[in-house]
Chain A
């Protein structure tokens, strides 16, 4: 079971031991690797809590189906969207384009919450 606060689950505790207790003992030429391990553990913990990065949520797929007016399952609907983008179907400055932009931005934010939540916090352009 995953602790909703994210503080007591196994990965989180192990990561804190690595960062707070072991990192200072690790030779300088291995520190980068140790930090990568800590980062991987943090991402894996967030994937366990929030869902996998590469598994889009149902509402994202539903939004695309509605936008394109299709019934195809994923990944076919994404392939259709990519085909339309390459054909220039979204080039005109229309409400459809704005809707697609909003859907994609929302999905990008969802993925950032898993891959690097601090990134959104540091962005002042939002």
Chain B
């Protein structure tokens, strides 16, 4: 996209001026690292007058050239962000959505830039942080107050009454679509099918709620990022994803995301939600987390191998699959 190019920059400035109904100056554009599925740019603007008057530090989020199955486009992500914001979830304030391809070629949206870091390797090196764990649990519980009856989220489709079995069907279909033969992942999928629980509740699930997608500033949560996988599901799926060993960045003794204690998270979630977590089901969803991440990692590597998006980061993601398969086999066992 190249926001640093003068022509692109002036198109973007004209767009922001139109939606803000004011003269606008772009003072800074800088590509942000991360985001294998979309491009993120830091964008600083000064709006001269009107309801947006003042200096704004924003993030511009745009679809990448190729997509991962089940990853939502920027329009859906924008409306999810708005719904979460309205439910009191700590997220970057969504500003404007642009679906006009004449502006930057692909849809994008603007949101306020949060302070802090999301870098998992850095965050998990810190001491156990009970305050952060509490904030993460409370915010996840708030996400789970959003129900399929909520207006404005019709694009999420109909909720499956059996999310676990639906996930098994989906991941098999993704593997087939890639022509990927991964017996260890299939072993995990057979176990997941055999042991699928019935879901007591169907709510909005973030589906990528984990260390690395959570901005932390001065030891506190500043916001939850990356809503592109969100959808209706079993809220325990999000808890299992957050707890899964593959998202602890090596800090395995801190089972809650490599940041703190599992029990602290459970207690804070239950206090906020007013409901008890069925702990017997969490291990099931941790297996699901490893199977899902392994499937996505295969997809990302396939994007690289196909030549559609040649990238060292995507190529290396394929080399994460063996450790995920190893964990799947360890968790599901021989019997």
Residues on A facing B (Cβ under 8 Å): 29, 32-33, 36-37, 39-40, 43, 53, 75, 78-79, 81-82, 85-86, 88, 90-91, 93, 97-98, 100-102, 104-105, 107-109, 111-112, 114-116, 119-120, 122-123, 125
Tell yes or no: B6 within 8 A of A by CB.
no
* Chain B facing A: main interface SS: helix
* C-alpha spacing A113/B285, complex, angstroms: 27
- A40 with B194: CB separation less than 8 A: no
**B243 CB within 8 Å of chain A:** no
Which residues of chain A are near B187, meaning CB under 8 Å?
Answer: 85, 90, 100-101, 104
* Most central of A43, A75, A107 by chain B CB within 10 Å: A107
Question: Nearest 8 CB-CB pairs, A to B?
Answer: A111-B322, A101-B334, A115-B319, A98-B334, A108-B326, A85-B186, A85-B190, A78-B181
Bound-state Cα–Cα, A112 to B335, Å: 23
Task: Give the nearest-CB partner of B311 in chain A.
Answer: A36
- Say yes or no for B172: interface residue by CB 8 A criterion: yes
Interface 0/1 of B317-335, CB less than 8 Å to A? 0011111011001100111
Chain B residue contacts of A119, Cβ below 8 A: 323, 326
Distance, CA A112 to CA B320, complexed state (A) = 9
- 1/0 contact string of B74-101 vs chain A (CB within 8 Å): 0000000000000000000000000000
Q: B335 to A97, Cβ gap below 8 A?
A: yes
Q: What's the minimum C-beta distance from A61 to chain B, rounded to whole angstroms? A: 11
Minimum C-beta distance from B326 to chain A (A) = 4
Q: For the complex, what is the distance from the CA of A60 to the CA of B335, rounded to whole Å?
A: 21
| Among A75, A100, A108, residue most surrounded by chain B Cβ atoms (within 10 Å) | A108
B335 touches A93 (CB 8 A): yes
**Does B329 lie within 8 Å of A101, measured CB to CB?**
yes
Instruction: Name the prevailing secondary structure of the A interface residues.
Output: helix
Given the known interface contacts A32-B33, A115-B323, the answer about A104 and B183 at a Cβ–Cβ threshold of 8 Å is yes
Minimum CB–CB distance for A81 against chain B, Å: 6
Q: A81-B186, A116-B323, A125-B330 are in contact. List 9 more A-B contacts (CB 8 A).
A: A36-B313, A78-B181, A85-B183, A108-B326, A111-B325, A112-B322, A116-B319, A120-B326, A123-B326
Q: B69 on the interface (CB 8 Å rule)?
A: no
B301 to chain A, nearest CB (A): 10
B323 in contact with A82 (CB, 8 Å): no
Contact A108 B194 (CB under 8 A): no
> Which of chain B's residues 3-56 have a Cβ closer than 8 Å to chain A?
33
CA distance A36 to B319 in the complex (A): 12
Min C-beta distance of B109 to chain A, whole Å: 24
Shortest Cβ gap from A95 to chain B (Å): 10
With A82-B181, A105-B329 in contact, do A53 and B33 touch (Cβ < 8 Å)? no
Contacts of B186 in A (CB 8 A): 81-82, 85-86
A36 adjacent to B316 (CB under 8 Å): yes
Q: In the complex the two chains form, is A115's CB within 8 Å of B33's CB?
A: no
Tell whether, in the assembled complex, residue B335 and residue A98 are in contact, meaning their CB atoms are under 8 Å apart.
Answer: yes
Instruction: Give every chain B residue within 8 A of A109 (Cβ-Cβ).
Output: 326
Bound-complex Cα distance A115 to B323 (A) = 8
Please tell me which one of the listed residues A79, A100, A108 contacts residue B181 in the complex, with CB atoms under 8 A apart: A79
Residues in A neighbouring B320, C-beta threshold 8 A: 115-116
Determine if B334 and A40 form an interchain contact, defined as CB atoms under 8 angstroms apart: no
- B137 at interface by CB-CB < 8 Å: no
| Cβ-closest chain A residue relative to B325 | A108
Chain B, 191-223, contact with A by CB distance < 8 Å: what is the 0/1 string?
001100000000000000000000000000000
| Residues on the B chain within 8 Å of A85, using CB | 183, 186-187, 189-190
Nearest CB on A from B312, distance (A):
5
Task: Give B297-325 interface residues, CB cut-off 8 Å to A.
Answer: 312-313, 315-316, 319-323, 325
Q: Evaluate contact between B194 and A91: CB separation under 8 angstroms.
A: yes
Closest-by-CB residue of A relative to B175 is A82
Out of B252, B322, B333, name the residue touching A115 (CB < 8 Å).
Answer: B322
**For residue B194, which residues in chain A have a CB less than 8 angstroms away from its CB?**
88, 91
Tell me whether A81 and B183 are in contact (CB under 8 A): yes
Partner of B172, one of A86, A90, A120: A86
